[in-house]
Structure 1
Amino acid sequence: MKTFVIRRRSNWKDVDELGITAGVSARVGNEEMPDQVRWIRSYVVHEVDGRLGTVCIYQATDAAAIREHARRVGMSADEIVPVADTVIVREDPVAQAEAFA
């Protein structure tokens, strides 16, 4: 599998809605497409319109598999970019859920 960055813009009104979608996404990936897509992590971002978006890291056979996964889940995949390399300067910081309250 190859690694991809996926940008999903303004898909959710709040963290509750995002959580529901995340559950569906995990189920679709793990049960319906386990040999095609693997969700690694997501960074949730505040969009300028007040909604939430994400920057997601996935592994997949190809961009078409990511688009199919997004279609089945009912979310966008606005940009899909293959990752050329990974440079880790520091580990990811501990999540701060209260930032979205």
Structure 2
Amino acid sequence: MNLFVIRRPSAWASLQELEAAGAKSAKVAKEQMSGTVSWIRSYAVHEPDGRIGTFCIYEAKDGEAIRDHAKRVGMPGEEFYPVADTVILRNDPISTAAA
């Protein structure tokens, strides 16, 4: 398995829409693609157009697995990059929403 960053720009109208897509994404990965794709985390961002985009961290067999998973979920999945290395200065802070 390889580590990838997936960019999904302006893919959702709201955080609620993103939450529903996230639930479907996790279900598809677990039930249909176990051992091929594994969702690690996502960072949701406010896009300039007012929509929600994400930067997602996934482990995947290859780029085709990323595309296949995105297609099954019904979300963008063409803009992804293999991770060359991970540099951590400190752990992500815990947000109020996650606490």
* Bin for the TM-score computed over the shorter chain: over 0.9
Provide the TM-score with structure 1 as the length reference: 0.93
Please tell me whether residue 65 in structure 1 is matched to residue 65 in structure 2.
yes
The CA deviation string for residues 71-91 of structure 1, in whole angstroms up to 9 with x for no partner, is 000000241100011111010
**Superposition RMSD in Å:** 0.9
Distance 1:87 1:9 in 2: 24
Give the aligned length. 97
Residue matched to 1:86: 86
Provide the TM-score with structure 2 as the length reference: 0.94
Q: Does the residue aligned with 2:48 lie in a helix, a strand or coil? A: coil
1:40-59 pair list within 5 angstroms: 40-59=40-59
Query: Which amino acid in structure 2 is aligned with residue 89 of structure 1?
Result: L
Give 5+ residue unaligned stretches, structure 1.
none
Residue matched to 2:33: 33
The CA deviation string for residues 24-64 of structure 1, in whole angstroms up to 9 with x for no partner, is 00000011001110000000000011000000000000010
Q: Does the residue aligned with 2:29 lie in a helix, a strand or coil? A: helix
